[in-house]
Amino acid sequence: MQKETVYKYQSTIPYSLHDMRVYKIEMTDEKQQNIWAYQTMALDGRCINLTKKINAYLKKNNIGFDKTMEYLKQYNTEEFDEFIREQYDIKGEVTPVKIMSAKKKTEEKELSEHEIQVAVCKYLKSKKIGHWAVPNGFVHNGDKIATARYINYMKSEGVKNGVFDITICYGNGKVAFLEIKTKKGKPSEHQLLWLEWFKNNGYLAKICYGDDACIDFIDSL
């Protein structure tokens, strides 16, 4: 009888037939016998340790252990440890126990428009650049009549929808207008109209997304 071995996953790690577990035998005819088996990873100490780490990660993330071999092919111990540290807060040596108990790294909190504006104004002050903010928002107590009266009162004093957040006077009669948005923020229709008006009338104006973009704009003046 001629023997032929067919691999579904070809391991790069040495193993013998003693490392295989048979889970199905089929006789197709008198001359052919099909045997299905999978590798059980009776391997050296380093590989066993890596396998335990991988299985801990798979268990933690509800991924089947049938994916173990794929991770073993993709990572060595150092690479897998780095893979884990990128995702979890782990100090010291990466172990299966630490992987199971580790917490995911939290994404950096996005600053609100208020927080960005406070930081921008502090930066302008540190650079001794003249500036002021336009208060276009307010907090009301739910009284619709009082709110409507206040809005009309402010409009009569010249407050307009969409006016940019900060006016910057940066010397020699030059002025710029800055509208602040979060990195995921979107300008309103009125703000876009103001941006177009500023540019059409020769004023320097920009809508900036995030604190870094605001600082870059100020430094460019």
Q: Where are the domains of the chain?
A: 17-101, 113-220
pTM, to two decimals = 0.52
pLDDT above 90: percentage of residues in the chain = 51
Q: What is the pLDDT of residue 29?
A: 56
What's the pLDDT tens digit per position in 56-99?
999 999 999 889 988 988 899 899 999 999 999 898 999 999 99
pLDDT exceeds 50 at position 220: yes
Rounded to an integer, the average pLDDT of 185-213 is 95
Q: Which residues of 190-200 are buried (b: 16+ CB within 10 A; e: fewer)?
A: ebeebbeebee
d(C-alpha 126, C-alpha 129), whole Å: 8
- How much is the pLDDT for 40? 46
User: How confident is the prediction for the chain on average, in pLDDT?
Assistant: 82
Q: What digits encode the pLDDT tens for the residues 101-125?
A: 998 887 667 889 999 999 999 999 9
Average pLDDT of the segment spanning 35-58: 70
179/36 Cα distance (integer angstroms): 66
pLDDT of residue 218: 96
Of residues 129 and 151, the one with the higher pLDDT is 129
Residue recorded with tokens 């320097």: 204
Tens-digit pLDDT profile for residues 149-181: 887 888 888 888 899 999 999 988 999 999 999
Domain 113-220 classification at class level: alpha beta
Alpha helices in 165-210 (DSSP H): 189-200
CA–CA dist 72, 13 (Å, integer): 9
Look at 31 and 151; give whichever has higher pLDDT.
151
What is the spatial distance between Cα 115 and Cα 122, in angstroms, rounded to a whole number?
A: 11
**pLDDT above 80 for 139:** no
What pLDDT is attached to residue 42?
45
Q: Which of 125, 144, 142 is nearest to 133 (CA)?
A: 125
The answer, yes or no, to whether residue 19 has pLDDT greater than 80, is no
pLDDT of residue 41: 45
Closest CA relative to residue 90, chosen from 99, 146, 202, 50: 99
